[in-house]
Each structure stands twice: as C-alpha cells, then as structure tokens.
Amino acid sequence: MSDTVIGVIMGSYRRESFSRKIANHLVEQLPQGYNASFISAEKLPMYNQDLDSNGNVPLEWLDFREQLDKVDAFLFVTPEHNRSYPAVMKNALDVGSRPYGSNKWSGKPAVVVSVSPGKIGGFGANHHLRQTLVFLNVAVMPQPEAYVGEVTSMLAEDGSVASESARGFLQSVVDAFVLWIKRLS
C-alpha cells in the first residue's frame, strides 16, 4: 500500500507567516505512511473563466491542478483577513474547482486550521473557508475544530511550537485527521 499524500494549502506566503510555522509543525507530526506535499497558490494568476474557455489556460493553473490530482487529502492552514480567509486561498479554490465538471477538490477529506495572533484564532476565516469547502464537496473534518489563537505566545524564536499545551492540541488535530482520512478511504 502506498503512502497517503496530504496536500498542504496555505493562506499566507509572507516570510514569517504564522500559518507556515503551524503547517510545518503539523506535517512533522504526521505518522509513518502519511506524507505532506506543500502546494503553493502564491503565484497563481487570478481565475478568469475566459482563459479556461478559449484554450489560453495559464501553465500555473495546469500545474496546480495536476498537483491537486496527486494528493489524497488536504490540510488548509489560514490566517484571518477581515473575518474571512485570504484572497490567495479563494483564488486557489476557484482555480482548482474549474472548469465546470473538473473539480480537483471534490470527494477528498480535509482539515481546516486557522491561525491568528488574536484570541479567537481566526474563527471567522475557519468557518467561512468551511462553507466554501462544503460547496466544493470536500469532506471537512468536523471535530476537533482547530483555531490557533494567540499564536505569537506559543512560538519559539526559531518558529517552532514551544508551548506544550499547543503541541498537545495540534497533535490531537493531526491524530483526528488521520482517523478521518482512514474512515473516508
């Protein structure tokens, strides 16, 4: 049996992204037989249906869609921008779900982890993203919900997760996600 490949989609690409730090920690906690593949949406041209319709599909879209085809499940890690998830993630969802009838997200299990320096841990982004994923027929893990609030207080200077309680919580998310993937496969 081959390894399960989890595609990691992030909503932040800044150099010191909290989302990246948490995503790196989460993938390090995956058990044997589970591998992560970071799929960047950072340089995707904005979705425009005309490009899919007239044969001028950007190579970046084709490559992105091909990468989505190669994974078995998705880990979405996102900050919150104005009570929602960032435009780069919305664009990735649009590119991956089009053209009509070619939804690369459909039927695959996923988990959403939102990250914020604020106390409520990106609650708005988490739930808004879940709404979109449900529409795209992604099997989003219902529990535990993963809001990583006050992220700056749990990270060491090197970007690792220093807080023991945070490490425990994040491990519980990974463990539940692995069970979710097994249940759906």
Concatenated DSSP letters of 29-83: TPPTTEEEEE---TTPPPP-HHHHHTT---HHHHHHHHHHHT-SEEEEEE--BTT
β-pair type (34-38, 109-115): unpaired
User: What are the sequence ranges of the domains in the chain?
Assistant: 4-184
d(CA 115, CA 138): 21
Report yes or no: 170 and 26 within 8 Å, Cβ to Cβ.
yes
Q: Name the band, by pLDDT with cuts 50, 70 and 90, for residue 1.
A: low
pLDDT level of residue 55 (50, 70, 90 thresholds):
confident
Q: Which residue has the tokens 């491990």?
A: 171
- Asked if residues 34 and 3 have their Cβ atoms less than 8 Å apart, the reply is yes
**Topology given in CATH for the domain delimited by 4-184:** Rossmann fold (3.40.50)
Instruction: Quote the mean pLDDT of the chain.
Output: 96
Work out the burial of residue 94: count CB atoms within 10 Å of its CB; fewer than 13 is exposed, 13-18 middle, 19 or more buried: middle
Q: If pLDDT is split at 50, 70 and 90, which confidence band does 2 have?
A: confident
Q: Counting beta carbons within 10 angstroms of the beta carbon of residue 3, is it exposed (0 to 12), middle (13 to 18) or buried (19 or more)?
A: exposed
Q: Is the peptide bond before 144 cis (omega within 30 degrees of 0)?
A: yes
